[in-house]
Structure 1
């Protein structure tokens, strides 16, 4: 027993020694991931990722690894972010703060995130979007603010975000939105502006219609209690006809309130358009003259630079369809003139003036850049005082032709019966209508056995056939037979009493 116990203890000590020697060997920890310096307790840290999601945090951890490019603090109990707390993360590009209880941001809460490109603050308790919230995020591309309590957005909240591509504000309590701040060249990369599922009862049609086409394509307004009117209907109908994604992707979710006092009077007005059947193309659509203009050749056209800017010191410049700048006062030949208020005048319009004109409003310190586009169409004047329908003209021509045919067939004088009285002996029925056989599709018959009749409509004979006094056809004398090398067309002397039958299409039988 003692021998077995001693052997067991010896083997245990030997195993422990082998383990110690193995751990002490070089490279034994090469396969194990190294824990970055300063990783908070309970978080997951890698070379560039720091995830502290679902840790019940009420404050941001004090120690943060400086190598992190992605920081995930979602699904916690954070309610406040202190100033300059991101100073330790100079490489941070993605910050996830969703599903917390953040109600406000201090003036310098995000000022050190100069490299930040993605910010998710969805599902928090934000009540407004102030000017100082995101003004330092010059490289920000995606901003998620959906599912908050936001009731107001400052007009200057997103002006500095020139790199912004996607902005999500759905599922909030917005009653209005500063669309004028999104016009022009402030956001050249913006492709998604989601304002769906809010409390928007009306939108400024003129400001929305003045937005660039790439913003309209991603401007989602569905699931809002918008009041039904012709202006809204015409704008969204034009978007649908242009196949814009903002309308096509949510066609049935675009609703409007038919009666303001009845919350249940929602109508899917892009699917059931009967209530808008009295809306004309121009009624209630103030955006039509601002984005499209039509003028006749030689007339004068004045178009406004609808940039919705209140800067009285702003200067204006138009870009012609040929990509040429037009500034005040205008071009050298005087056909294009720019006024101080930004209006463009086209004098003596010509066909080459057609195209899309873009107006740029530039602020005093080159900080205000807004753009508005107008599609100009040049038409030629209509020739003549009246324009007839093509089908009516064709029908009238057919009736006149048919009447002339009846007159020609039944009212043409013919005295073939008198021709038969002059004949001493009975003659073939074609003798009195020799002239009619000239235009007939069937060639005339002859008495000469040696003469053959061609079945062709165009027949050429050798010599004119002379007519006898008895009305019969006789062959010419031998001295009158011409050389075969010099053929002539058939010439038949017509009876003075049957001249009118020359133009008959059918031989008249006597």
Structure 2
């Protein structure tokens, strides 16, 4: 009896707490399962009481100007936080304390003017960070250092004049495949620092629509990316521009106006990891090996496809199968499977990483018959024609008579009719009679191989 009363009291208390929590939410907020949406309500602060079961919080399109410390503490299931289209100009230390499970953070379209080192240091599981369309002029060198699980970072449409590329080198961010720095104000690029980035980061580095001053080093880098069919260059060829001598009115395209770079030499960039090139026929299967010098039982492997898709054990679909040793098998290869594949070998025990790059070129089978050689067909035609003439002259029965011409000065055999004719004409020649000439007529009425019309042969005799 007492136990039943205790259970009933507990249920009543839980219900009361839930009602109080709902009462503390602003009017207009919508809660569905583990999603709380309070967007476009004109809010100026985050509600103090938030549902502890919330996995997604949506505060887009409000008037938030600041976030208090521990604004999102006590939310153990929080994974996605949307704060876009507000008036945030900076983040106080401790804003995301006790929110380490956060993986997707959208701070786009605010008024942030920098990214300080302390902004995201607690978000060790962060995978996607959206900071585009702000007023950011600087990203501190340690701002992303603790976010080793980052997959995608969007910093486009800001006011950046540089970026600390050195802070994401040496495989400190093994999962990073997209870094969007497009539409900023960078006049120069640290090409050597970019070349030292892992291939997986280079393949998803977007640098178009900046204020770049034309330089051979940058031209060389973009040309190499074009040859590797990197998506950043392939999809934004026209937007890769630079200013000749820094003149805003003299803008040229890196990958189109090549005459401005005639004296530049395309140099091979230094890359971490090794590379391999493979050619495969469409429809065939191919096995990609993840070659690494790392040893041990604690190794894990990950592949990144040309379409920025992660592939882990056992594989992502029926066409891509991954094995325990890191090898990746692609069955029934298609043309769209062409591109650069990156394998990342991770040694968690010793905190070491290595990459292996494989470039696949898929070709199609050609079933068209090989054309005959023109010279051979011409010679064959001549031989066949000669054989037919000889067959006709020697094997076809016919009645042949010769019209005797006036004898020349040098006697010759009478009624000479030779098969060695010089001219074949369908009608009797009108002007060929003369000294030393005879005309031989082959009747079309004799023999089953007769010709139509009659054939007249003019024979010449030596003078």
TM bucket (normalised to shorter chain) is 0.5 to 0.7
Which residue of the other structure, out of 68, 77, 82, is the alignment partner of 2:68? 82
- 2:88 corresponding residue in structure 1: 102
- 2:113 corresponding residue in structure 1: 127
1:265 aligned onto 2:234: no
Deviation at 1:235, TM superposition (A): 0.8
- 1:279 corresponding residue in structure 2: 264
1:80–1:105 contact (8 Å) kept in structure 2: yes
Distance 1:84 1:53 in 2: 21
SS of the residue 1:152 aligns to: coil
Distance 2:271 2:111 in 1: 42
Structure 2 residue runs of 5 or longer lacking an equivalent are: 1-17, 276-289, 296-342, 359-463
1:40–1:63 contact (8 Å) kept in structure 2: no
Q: Provide Cα deviations, 1:72-107, integer angstroms capped at 9, x if missing partner.
A: 111111010000011132211110000001011111
Distance 1:289 1:243 in 2: 16
1:69 aligned onto 2:55: yes
Distance 1:77 1:185 in 2: 39
Q: Provide Cα deviations, 1:441-474, integer angstroms capped at 9, x if missing partner.
A: xxxxxxxxxxxxxxxxxxxxxxxxxxxxxxxxxx
- 1:149 corresponding residue in structure 2: 135
1:53–1:74 contact (8 Å) kept in structure 2: yes
Deviation at 1:204, TM superposition (A): 0.6
Distance 1:245 1:276 in 2: 23
CA RMSD of aligned residues (A): 3.2
Correspondence 1:452-471 to 2 at 5 A: none
Of Structure 1 and Structure 2, the greater strand share is in: 2
Distance 1:70 1:149 in 2: 26
Change (3 A) 1:198 1:322: closer
2:108–2:130 contact (8 Å) kept in structure 1: yes
1:188 aligned onto 2:174: yes
Deviation at 1:205, TM superposition (A): 0.5
Change (3 A) 1:35 1:237: farther
1:169 aligned onto 2:158: no
Moved more, 34-43 or 120-129: 34-43
Distance 2:273 2:28 in 1: 58
1:248 aligned onto 2:234: yes
SS of the residue 2:222 aligns to: helix
2:70–2:97 contact (8 Å) kept in structure 1: yes
Change (3 A) 1:237 1:291: farther
1:217 aligned onto 2:207: no
Q: Provide Cα deviations, 1:310-356, integer angstroms capped at 9, x if missing partner.
A: xxxxxxxxxxx964469xxxxxxxxxxxxxxxxxxxxxxxxxxxxxx
Change (3 A) 1:80 1:290: closer
Aligned residues: 278
1:36–1:65 contact (8 Å) kept in structure 2: no
Distance 1:149 1:61 in 2: 26
1:200 aligned onto 2:180: no
Deviation at 1:280, TM superposition (A): 2.2
TM-score by length of 2: 0.55
1:35–1:46 contact (8 Å) kept in structure 2: no
Change (3 A) 1:325 1:75: closer
